[in-house]
């Protein structure tokens, strides 16, 4: 009961996303039903309708949810039956919150209001001004390429993102794991939306990761008890209690759309990103904190002879880590009971299981425009896709991988791939010892809805940053999309937001000297306007389909992920040249206040053959009509000029890959020794006096070790 009361108290104080009062003059007067009028004509929804009339749309609105659903718009309503609401009231009786399943049983008005809000606000999604954003069953089942526990792009008006799963035996769609849609009474069209009958109340706990873990500890609840004890011992509970940045929340609530970039398209749009319907670039509504846990289950620890309920469980866990060599042998970790110390072995092992961002199951990797998949909204995967993220302590990388052949998502998987010039780029063979750790996203133990600031995924074997893992990471080219640098972009649903709504198409985050939204991005002057374009339904050869740009007399710097091991690396920048770009000087180094110049300025308007020079045409450089030896020779000549073709991995809708386009290229910014103990920065500064529309284009960067780019056995692959 104490847990439920705490949850309800927290829910009461949540400030819902800002929604203006409904303009009732804009209600429909046609003979067809609105969402509200349809529900009112059906007795099965009578309680739900009465509740909608009592619940305001938000804390800043006088309009009720019922009024909202009478107005113009594109709403998705998961309409609750009387039976579902009565069952929820009975659940509250069993929890000890009320004495009988009746609305009259509430003795505290605040708790009553909180319960009403939970019931009503979680059932409505506002699709804005686009009919395509009505969540039909077809759209729901396509979320995340059909993955289980996939998360909706748009939140409901309670600011909670629903997840979807499907039980194959009865083909029923479930929201948040356990709320079934009626398979017959669904996709009911209304003038202003679509209606689905729902047979269970959506009531996520929405508690912090710290509270969730503390409840496990208090109740000695098995499943993740060992993992929870380790988190407590390492002193991470306070950090995991952060849900959102209240300073940004206050800034947004006070200034709202004043933070937007007005009429961005005419000011800074110069290519396909300017064709989006909304002319403005919008500031994010929130800056939430997030975490992703990859956790061994208690069943695993029991199989290793460790009882998670035992008083000495944490000590025995550290002994297990040491005896199984789940650590770097040369790191000098301390084996003692000072678990809070970053030098402690248990501490280092634990934080390697945590990413500082909340990643839903369908966004652990991004299937988008890799060759063959080609923007297909299906689970028909083709080329391998992967991400490399710094873990919680920032000093080590964790690789997340999926391919058509892998049968799921894996951590630190290192298969052999068919990467030759005349091969298909697919995974060929994987030594079982190199397959890595499987993420069990479909497991009933995956926690994807109840924690406001985290997801927990069980894994099929223990995870550790060992000598072997470090060395394997150090032997491969590491490519990271710019927005993979920003945990905030993933946690707040900005990266790869699969929606055409203006608030996601152009995201504006430039708040020079006022607020730093992305911790790893530093805007160095007030003339820099940074825009993220999510590229939804824009078929171009950008990595993961999106792109970023700055315009004005830009000067911008990024903090980069660590390298896996000390080595000589090339650091590369991918360019898609257009007439809208400018000329940029790049800087690279360790001291952010005094970065060395890296090479000569790059003219971002020039295609690869023009930058290469020597009177070359694209026909002189293209792979078309050439054998392998000729292609290798051309690539060698380009590298002598610090240039490379773009990759064969991503493509346009026509299956034209970035490598096949003359305006796509990679620039080798530096070639030097990099150390995993150092932090590196890259800076892009405009050197063009004409400030009309000189954009900085940003897509992805690469670290490539010498063993790859200068291999004596085979040239670097084209993928």
Model confidence pLDDT, tens digit, residues 134-143: 999 999 988 8
Q: What's the length of the chain? A: 719
pLDDT, tens digit, for every residue of 219-272? Answer: 999 999 999 999 999 999 999 999 999 999 999 988 888 899 998 888 776 656
Q: What region, left, alpha or beta, does residue 171 occupy, with left being phi > 0 and alpha being psi -120 to 50 degrees?
A: left
Indicate the angle between helix axes 209-219 and 225-233, nearest 10 degrees: 110
Residue 29 has a pLDDT of 42
pLDDT, tens digit, for every residue of 670-718? Answer: 999 999 999 999 999 999 876 566 899 999 999 999 999 999 888 999 9
Number of H helices, E strands in the chain: 21, 31
DSSP element (H, E) containing 574: strand 567-576
Indicate the angle between helix axes 46-54 and 109-121, nearest 10 degrees: 120
Q: Of 8, 85, 22, whose CA–CA distance to 48 is shortest?
A: 85
pLDDT, tens digit, for every residue of 463-513? Answer: 999 999 999 999 999 999 999 999 999 999 999 898 888 889 899 998 888
- Residue 118's SS3 state is helix
Q: Of 524, 680, 677, 685, whose CA–CA distance to 589 is shortest?
A: 680
387 or 375: which leads in pLDDT: 387
| Token pair of 646 as six digits | 């773009």
How far apart (Å, rounded) are the C-alpha atoms in residues 203 and 11?
Answer: 11
Mean pLDDT, range 74-83, rounded to an integer:
98
Asked whether the predicted pLDDT for residue 19 surpasses 50, the reply is no
Q: What would be the CATH architecture of the domain defined by 2-198? A: Roll (2.30)
Q: How wide is the angle at C-alpha 465 spanned by C-alphas 480 and 319, nearest 5°?
A: 160
| Count of beta carbons in the 10 Å neighbourhood of residue 349 | 23
What is the pTM (predicted TM-score) of this model? 0.92
In 663-708 the beta strands, taken as DSSP E runs, fall at 664-674, 681-686, 696-698, 700-705
Annotated domain spans of the chain = 2-198, 477-709
Q: Are 218 and 6 in contact (CB under 8 A)?
A: no
pLDDT, tens digit, for every residue of 598-629? Answer: 999 999 999 999 999 989 999 999 999 999 99
Q: Of 398, 402, 406, whose CA–CA distance to 470 is shortest?
A: 398
Output phi, psi for 36, to 5 deg: -65, -45
Q: Are 148 and 441 in contact (CB under 8 A)?
A: yes
| Token pair of 542 as six digits | 């950008």
- Residue 5's SS3 state is helix
Contacts of 289 (CB under 8 A, 6+ apart): 242, 243, 244, 245, 453, 491
Contacts of 43 (CB under 8 A, 6+ apart): none
Burial of 467 (0-12, 13-18, 19+ CB in 10 A): middle
What does CATH list as the number for 477-709? 2.60.120
| Token pair of 146 as six digits | 């059909």
């Amino acid at each position: 009961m104490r847990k439920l009361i705490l949850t309800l108290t927290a829910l009461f104080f949540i400030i819902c996303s800002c929604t203006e009062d409904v303009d009732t003059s804009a209600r429909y007067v046609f003979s067809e039903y609105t969402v509200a009028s349809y529900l009112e004509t059906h007795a099965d929804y009578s309680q739900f309708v009465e509740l909608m009339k009592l619940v305001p749309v938000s804390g800043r609105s006088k309009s009720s949810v019922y009024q909202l659903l009478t107005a113009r718009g594109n709403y998705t309503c998961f309409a609750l039956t009387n039976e579902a609401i009565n069952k929820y009231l009975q659940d509250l009786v069993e929890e000890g919150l009320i004495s009988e399943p009746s609305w009259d049983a509430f003795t505290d008005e605040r708790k009553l209001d909180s319960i009403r809000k939970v019931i009503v606000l979680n059932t409505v999604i506002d699709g804005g001004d686009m009919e395509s954003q009505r969540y039909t069953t077809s759209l729901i089942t396509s979320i995340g390429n059909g993955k289980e526990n996939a998360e909706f792009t748009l939140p409901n008006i309670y600011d909670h993102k629903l997840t979807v799963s499907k039980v194959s035996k009865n083909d029923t769609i479930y929201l948040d794991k356990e709320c079934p849609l009626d398979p017959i009474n669904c996709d009911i069209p209304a003038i202003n939306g679509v209606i689905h009958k729902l047979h269970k109340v959506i009531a996520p706990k929405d508690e912090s990761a710290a509270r969730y873990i503390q409840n496990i500890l208090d109740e000695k609840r098995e499943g993740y008890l060992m993992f929870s004890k380790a988190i407590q011992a390492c002193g991470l509970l306070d950090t995991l209690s952060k849900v959102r940045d209240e300073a940004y929340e206050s800034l947004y609530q006070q200034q709202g759309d004043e933070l937007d970039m007005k009429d961005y398209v005419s000011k800074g749009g110069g290519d396909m990103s300017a064709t989006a319907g909304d002319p403005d670039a919008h500031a994010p509504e929130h800056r939430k904190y997030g975490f992703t846990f990859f956790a061994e289950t208690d069943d695993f620890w029991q199989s290793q002879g460790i009882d998670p309920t035992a008083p000495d469980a944490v000590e025995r866990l550290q002994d297990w880590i040491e005896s199984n060599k789940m650590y770097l042998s040369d790191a000098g970790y301390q084996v003692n009971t000072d678990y809070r110390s970053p030098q402690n072995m248990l501490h280092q092992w634990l934080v390697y299981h945590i990413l500082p961002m909340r990643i839903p199951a369908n966004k652990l990797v991004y299937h988008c425009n890799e060759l063959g998949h080609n923007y297909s909204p299906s689970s028909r995967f083709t080329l391998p896709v992967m991400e490399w993220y710094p873990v919680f302590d920032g000093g080590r990388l964790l690789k997340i991988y999926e391919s058509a052949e892998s049968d799921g998502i894996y951590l630190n998987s290192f298969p052999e791939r068919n990467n030759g010039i005349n091969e298909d780029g697919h995974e060929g063979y994987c030594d079982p010892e190199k397959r890595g750790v499987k993420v069990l996203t479909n497991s009933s133990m995956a926690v994807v809805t109840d924690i406001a600031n985290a997801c927990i995924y069980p894994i099929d074997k223990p995870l550790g940053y060992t000598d072997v893992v470090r060395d394997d990471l150090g032997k491969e080219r590491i490519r990271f999309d710019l927005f993979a640098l920003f945990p905030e972009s993933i946690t707040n649903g900005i990266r790869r937001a699969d929606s055409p709504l203006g608030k996601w198409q152009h995201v504006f985050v430039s708040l020079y000297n006022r607020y730093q939204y992305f911790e790893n991005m530093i805007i160095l002057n007030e003339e820099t306007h940074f825009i993220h374009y999510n590229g939804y339904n824009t078929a171009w050869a950008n990595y993961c389909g999106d792109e970023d740009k700055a315009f004005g007399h830009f000067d911008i710097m990024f903090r980069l992920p660590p390298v896996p091991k000390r080595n000589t690396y090339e650091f590369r920048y991918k360019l898609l040249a257009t007439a809208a770009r400018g000329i940029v000087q790049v800087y690279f180094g360790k001291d952010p206040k005094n970065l060395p110049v890296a090479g000569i300025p790059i003219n971002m308007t020039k295609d690869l053959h023009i930058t290469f020079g020597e009177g070359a045409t694209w026909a002189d450089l293209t792979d078309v009509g050439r054998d392998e030896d000729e292609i290798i020779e051309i690539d060698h000549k380009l590298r002598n000029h610090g240039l490379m073709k773009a990759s064969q991995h991503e493509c346009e809708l026509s299956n034209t890959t970035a490598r096949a386009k003359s305006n796509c290229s990679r620039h080798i910014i530096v070639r030097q020794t990099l150390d995993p103990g150092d932090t590196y920065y890259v800076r892009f500064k405009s050197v063009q006096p004409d400030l009309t529309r000189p954009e900085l284009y940003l897509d992805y960067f690469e670290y490539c070790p010498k063993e790859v780019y200068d291999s004596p056995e085979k040239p670097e692959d084209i993928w």
